[in-house]
Chain A
Amino acid sequence: MARQFLSGNEAFAYGVRLARPQVISAYPITPQTIVVEKLSEFVEDGSLKSEFIHVESEHSALSCAMGASSVGARAFTATSSQGLLYMAECLPYAAGGRFPIVMMNANRSTALPWNIYGDQRDSLSQLDSGWIQAYAENAQEALDLALMSFYIAEHKQVSTPFMANLDGFVLTHTYEVVDVPTAEQADEFLPTFETENKMSLTKPKNLGFSAGPDTNTFFKYKEHTGLLNVKKAVTEAESRFESIFGRHYSGLTENYRTDDADYILITLGSISGLVREIVDKLREQGEKAGLLRIRYMRPFPNEEIAKAVKNAKAVGVLEKDISFGNEGTVYTNVNSALQKASISIPTSDYIGGLGGRNISPGEIENIFEELKQEKSAVKFLGIEVR
Chain B
Amino acid sequence: MALTAKTLDETEYFYGHKACAGCGGSLAVRIALKVLGENAIAVLPAGCMSAVGFNFPQLCFGNNAIISTFAGTASMLTGVQAGLKAQGITDFHAVGFAGDGGTADIGLQALSGAIDRNDDILYICYDNEAYMNTGIQKSSLTPFGAKTTTTPAGKNIHGNLRQKKNMFEIAAAHDIPYAATASVGYLNDFIRKVEKAKSIKGTKYIHILAPCPTGWGVKTDETVEIAKEVVDCGLWYLAEYENGSFTLNHEPKEFSDVSEYLRKQSRFRHLTDEDIEIIKQSRDKKWEYIHKNFK
A and B touch in the complex (CB under 8 A): yes
Contact in complex: A71, B71 (CB < 8 Å): no
Residues of B within 8 A of A66 (CB): 68, 72, 76, 79
User: How many angstroms between the C-alpha atoms of A90 and B80 in the bound complex?
Assistant: 16
Q: Is B278 an interface residue (CB 8 A)?
A: no
B contact residues, range: 35 or more
**A45-76 residues at the B interface, CB under 8 angstroms:** 50-51, 53-57, 59-61, 63-73, 75
When C-beta atoms are compared, the residue in chain B nearest to A215 turns out to be B56
Knowing A73-B84, A199-B66, the reply to whether A210 touches B54 (Cβ < 8 A) is yes
User: How many angstroms between the C-alpha atoms of A312 and B82 in the bound complex?
Assistant: 53
Q: Is A211 an interface residue (CB 8 A)?
A: yes
Knowing A63-B79, A68-B86, A201-B39, the reply to whether A208 touches B66 (Cβ < 8 A) is yes
Minimal beta-carbon separation of B126 from chain A (angstroms): 19
User: How many angstroms between the C-alpha atoms of A75 and B113 in the bound complex?
Assistant: 19
Q: Is B135 an interface residue (CB 8 A)?
A: no
Residues of B within 8 A of A208 (CB): 54, 66-68
Most buried by B among A51, A63, A73, A204: A63
When C-beta atoms are compared, the residue in chain A nearest to B60 turns out to be A206
Minimal beta-carbon separation of B231 from chain A (angstroms): 33
When C-beta atoms are compared, the residue in chain B nearest to A193 turns out to be B87
When C-beta atoms are compared, the residue in chain B nearest to A90 turns out to be B69
User: How many angstroms between the C-alpha atoms of A163 and B110 in the bound complex?
Assistant: 23
Minimal beta-carbon separation of B30 from chain A (angstroms): 16
Residues of B within 8 A of A53 (CB): 78-79, 82, 117
Residues of A within 8 A of B38 (CB): 201, 204
Residues of B within 8 A of A211 (CB): 56
Residues of B within 8 A of A207 (CB): 64-67
Interface of B is mostly: mixed
Contact in complex: A56, B113 (CB < 8 Å): yes
Contact in complex: A23, B86 (CB < 8 Å): yes
Residues of A within 8 A of B82 (CB): 23, 51, 53, 64, 67-68, 73
- How many A-B pairs with Cβ below 8 Å? 150
Provide the A205-218 mask, 1 if CB < 8 A to any CB of B, else 0: 11111111001000
**B60-117 residues at the A interface, CB under 8 angstroms:** 60-69, 71-72, 74-87, 89, 91-92, 109-110, 112-113, 116-117
User: How many angstroms between the C-alpha atoms of A25 and B112 in the bound complex?
Assistant: 16
Knowing A63-B72, A211-B56, the reply to whether A206 touches B66 (Cβ < 8 A) is yes
Residues of B within 8 A of A210 (CB): 51, 54-56, 67
Minimal beta-carbon separation of B101 from chain A (angstroms): 16
When C-beta atoms are compared, the residue in chain A nearest to B86 turns out to be A22
**B126-175 residues at the A interface, CB under 8 angstroms:** none
Contact in complex: A204, B62 (CB < 8 Å): yes
Q: Is B290 an interface residue (CB 8 A)?
A: no
Other-chain contact of B113, A60, A65, A71 (Cβ < 8 Å) = A60
Q: Is B59 an interface residue (CB 8 A)?
A: yes
User: How many angstroms between the C-alpha atoms of A93 and B76 in the bound complex?
Assistant: 12
Contact in complex: B72, A59 (CB < 8 Å): yes
Minimal beta-carbon separation of B120 from chain A (angstroms): 11
Q: Is B43 an interface residue (CB 8 A)?
A: yes
Residues of A within 8 A of B78 (CB): 53, 55, 60, 64, 67
Q: Is B124 an interface residue (CB 8 A)?
A: no
User: How many angstroms between the C-alpha atoms of A127 and B62 in the bound complex?
Assistant: 37
Contact in complex: A64, B64 (CB < 8 Å): no
Q: Is A4 an interface residue (CB 8 A)?
A: no
Contact in complex: B86, A56 (CB < 8 Å): no
**A166-211 residues at the B interface, CB under 8 angstroms:** 199-201, 204-211
Contact in complex: B67, A22 (CB < 8 Å): no
Residues of A within 8 A of B55 (CB): 209-210, 212
Q: Is B210 an interface residue (CB 8 A)?
A: no
Contact in complex: A56, B85 (CB < 8 Å): no
Other-chain contact of A55, B39, B43, B68, B113 (Cβ < 8 Å) = B113
Q: Is B41 an interface residue (CB 8 A)?
A: yes
Residues of A within 8 A of B79 (CB): 23, 25, 53, 63-70, 75
Contact in complex: A51, B86 (CB < 8 Å): yes
Residues of A within 8 A of B87 (CB): 22, 71-73
Contact in complex: A69, B75 (CB < 8 Å): no
Q: Is A89 an interface residue (CB 8 A)?
A: yes
User: How many angstroms between the C-alpha atoms of A73 and B62 in the bound complex?
Assistant: 22
When C-beta atoms are compared, the residue in chain B nearest to A200 turns out to be B64
Residues of B within 8 A of A25 (CB): 79
Other-chain contact of B112, A22, A56, A64, A70 (Cβ < 8 Å) = A56
User: How many angstroms between the C-alpha atoms of A199 and B76 in the bound complex?
Assistant: 13
Contact in complex: B75, A63 (CB < 8 Å): yes
User: How many angstroms between the C-alpha atoms of A215 and B38 in the bound complex?
Assistant: 29
Minimal beta-carbon separation of A257 from chain B (angstroms): 46
When C-beta atoms are compared, the residue in chain A nearest to B77 turns out to be A67
When C-beta atoms are compared, the residue in chain A nearest to B65 turns out to be A206
Residues of B within 8 A of A199 (CB): 41, 64-66, 80
When C-beta atoms are compared, the residue in chain B nearest to A212 turns out to be B55
Contact in complex: B41, A71 (CB < 8 Å): yes
Residues of B within 8 A of A205 (CB): 64
Contact in complex: B56, A209 (CB < 8 Å): yes
Contact in complex: A67, B80 (CB < 8 Å): yes
Provide the A6-31 mask, 1 if CB < 8 A to any CB of B, else 0: 00000000000000001101000000
User: How many angstroms between the C-alpha atoms of A124 and B122 in the bound complex?
Assistant: 38
Most buried by A among B60, B81, B84, B116: B84
Knowing A23-B82, A64-B75, A68-B80, the reply to whether A54 touches B69 (Cβ < 8 A) is no
For the complex of A and B, list the 6 residue pairs with the smallest distance between their C-beta atoms, beginning with the closest.
A67-B79, A73-B83, A56-B113, A68-B83, A63-B72, A60-B75
For this complex, 22 residue pairs linking A to B, each with C-beta atoms less than 8 Å apart, are A23-B82, A51-B86, A53-B117, A55-B75, A56-B113, A59-B72, A59-B110, A60-B74, A64-B76, A65-B79, A67-B68, A68-B86, A70-B76, A70-B80, A72-B83, A89-B71, A201-B64, A205-B64, A206-B64, A206-B65, A210-B51, A211-B56
Other CB < 8 Å A-B pairs besides A63-B72, A208-B66, 20 of them? A25-B79, A56-B116, A63-B68, A63-B76, A64-B79, A66-B72, A67-B66, A67-B79, A67-B80, A67-B82, A70-B66, A70-B76, A70-B80, A90-B69, A201-B64, A201-B89, A206-B66, A208-B67, A208-B68, A209-B55
